[in-house]
Amino acid sequence: MNAGLNTDAMTAPTQGPEQQPMTADEVTAFLSRLVTPVQETQELPLFEALGRVLAADVMSPLDVPPHDNSAMDGYAFAGSQLAAGAALELQVVGTALAGKAWQGASGPVKPGQCVKIMTGAVMPAGLDTVVPQEFTKPCQGQGSDCITIAADTLRLGDNRRLRGEDLAKGRPALRKGELLTPARLGLAASLGLKTLSTFRPLRVAYFSTGDEILSLGEPPREGAVYDSNRYTVFGLLSRLGCQVIDLGVVRDDPALLEAAFRTAATQADAIITSGGVSVGEADHTRTMMKKLGDVAFWRIAMRPGRPMAAGRISSKKSTESASGAGTTDSFSYEKESTGDGAVLFGLPGNPVAVMVTFLAFVRPALLRMMGASVLPAPLLRARSLEAIRKKPGRTEYQRAWVSTAADGSLNVKTTGSQGSGVLRSMAEANGLMVLHHGQGDVAAGDEVDVMMFDGAI
C-alpha cells in the first residue's frame, strides 16, 4: 500500500476560482491533515541510517558511561579530605590509564594518597574527586610522588563522570519520529547498537510540464526555456533523503500526461509537478489532474507561489468515469480508491515559486509522510537593511542574505530582483525573509522574521 493519504482529510475546504485566496496557514493545516506517515519499516546498519526516521523508541540497553570515570587528566582522591581554607598534600601511589580498572598492589587507596588518572579512566575504588593536573603543584621539598592542591580550588565530586550520567539503562535514548542526525547515530553506537529500526524512505516522482520547457541537450529555440525545476526539485528531495523517480519533461499532450501521472501514481508515494496549475492555463495538466484524482486547486495569498494544486492521484481511476471532474474544482473522495495512488503536489511553474512552495508546504508534508515528528525550525529575527513594500493580506517570502552585525545581532537584505522567475535571487540567498499575512511595509532598520535554509537547500 502506498503511504501518505489520510482519507478523513478529504472533506477539507475546497476552493473555486471566485473564492477568497487560501492563506499560507490554511494550506499548511490542510496538507497536515491530507498526508499520513509510511508504515513499512527497515532495520538498517548505522552507516546506512543517516537521514532516516526512527520507527521505534530506542531504550538504552546499558549505562553510559558504564562506570564512574575521570573527566580530566589529573589525580583522583577521596574528596572527603578537602577542608575549607586548607591546602591538601597527597602521595601519588600509581597511575590509572583509560581502558583498564586500576588495581593497587598494596590494596585500596588510603587517606593522604591519590592516583594519577587519565581522562576516561575508571575511578579507582573509594575515590570520587579528580584534581586536574594544572591545579596541582609538587609538594615543597619532596620528590615527584607528592602533589599539593591549593586551598578552596575543588569540591567533592569535581571532574568525575558518574556511571549512567549520559544515559541510564532502560531509559529512552532516542524517540520514534526523530531524524537520524550524525549525533543520534553516534549516540546509538555508544549504546552498542549495530542496527536501528527506520521507516522506509519515501518514493517521490516528479516531472515538469509545459510545451515551452526544454530538456538539457535540446537546442535553444525561440520562446523556450531550459527546465530548471526538475533540478531544484531533485536537489530538495535528495536533501530530504527521498528516493526520486525522475519522469522528465512531459509535453502538453493528454496521452503523455496521463501516462506520466499513472506511472507516478503506481510507483510513488508522492508526485510533484511544476507548471500548468494556474487558473486559465491553456495546457492539459490541470484537466488531467482533475480527471485522474481528487485534487483541489488553490490561489494562495502568498508571493511568490500563488497557484498550487494538492490532493491525490489514482493510478486506476478511469478518465471516462470521472464525469464532470474536469469542469469543476470539486474535491470528493472516492472510497474504492483507498490505498491506491499518490499524494499530488502540483506546484507553480515559476522557478522561485517552485522552491518557495516546496519549502513552505511540501517539505513539512513530506517530513510527516516520512514519519518524522520534527517541529518547524524557529524563525530568527533580523534587522532589515532596506525598506520593503509589502501589502497586508498575503504572505511574502523575499530571498535574502542574513549576516551577523558588529554587535552580534542579525542583519538581512534581499538578494536582487525578487521576480518569481529569477532563480538567481534564490541561488544568492542563505534564507528567506518571511513577511507575514497581516504585515505591511517594512522600514529600513525594522526587525523581520527570517527562515534560514540550513540544510534544506
Q: Contact positions toward Mg ion, by CB under 5 A?
A: 210, 275-276, 349
Out of 349, 352, 402, 434, the residue judged to bind ligand AMP by CB under 6 A: 349
Out of 9, 46, 118, 225, the residue judged to bind ligand AMP by CB under 6 A: 225
Beta strands in 118-202 (DSSP E): 129-132, 136-138, 146-149, 160-161, 172-174, 195-199
Chosen from ligand AMP, Mg ion, none, partner binding at 51 (C-beta under 5 to 8 Å by type): none
Determine contact, residues 277/357, Cβ cutoff 8 Å.
no
CB of 382 to ligand AMP, least distance (A): 30
> Per-residue x/- mask for ligand AMP, residues 228 to 247, rule CB under 6 A?
xx------------------
> Per-residue x/- mask for ligand AMP, residues 385 to 424, rule CB under 6 A?
------------------------------------x---
Residues forming beta bridges with residue 138, ordered by sequence position: 147
What CA–CA distances, in Å, run from 75 to 13, 89, 124, 148? Answer: 69, 12, 11, 11
Is 210 among the residues that bind ligand AMP (CB under 6 A)?
yes
212: Cβ contacts below 8 Å, ≥ 6 apart: 223, 224, 225
CB of 253 to Mg ion, least distance (A): 14
CB of 351 to ligand AMP, least distance (A): 5
The x, y and z cell numbers of residue 14, run together, are 475546497
CB of 362 to Mg ion, least distance (A): 19
Chosen from ligand AMP, Mg ion, none, partner binding at 212 (C-beta under 5 to 8 Å by type): ligand AMP
What CA–CA distances, in Å, run from 308 to 31, 341, 415? Answer: 12, 19, 25
Residue identified by cell 549495530 is 194
CB of 346 to ligand AMP, least distance (A): 10
How far the first Cα of the chain sits from its last, in Å, is 30
Q: What are the two backbone dihedrals, phi and then psi, of residue 267, each rounded to the nearest 5 degrees? A: -95, -20
Q: Which of residues 136-175 bind ligand AMP (CB under 6 A)?
A: none
CB of 227 to ligand AMP, least distance (A): 4
Is 4 among the residues that bind ligand AMP (CB under 6 A)?
no
Out of 51, 351, 371, 431, the residue judged to bind ligand AMP by CB under 6 A: 351
Determine contact, residues 148/139, Cβ cutoff 8 Å.
yes
Note if the bond before 364 is cis, omega within 30 degrees.
Answer: no
> Per-residue x/- mask for ligand AMP, residues 266 to 305, rule CB under 6 A?
--------xxx-x---------------------------
**Cα 371 to Cα 92: distance, rounded to the nearest angstrom:** 56
248: Cβ contacts below 8 Å, ≥ 6 apart: 207, 208, 215, 230
Chosen from Mg ion, ligand AMP, none, partner binding at 350 (C-beta under 5 to 8 Å by type): ligand AMP
**Cα 8 to Cα 201: distance, rounded to the nearest angstrom:** 24
Out of 60, 113, 198, 208, the residue judged to bind ligand AMP by CB under 6 A: 208
Instruction: Identify the helix (H) or strand (E) that includes residue 296.
Output: strand 293-299
Measured from the CB atom, the residue of 37 and 349 that comes closer to ligand AMP is 349
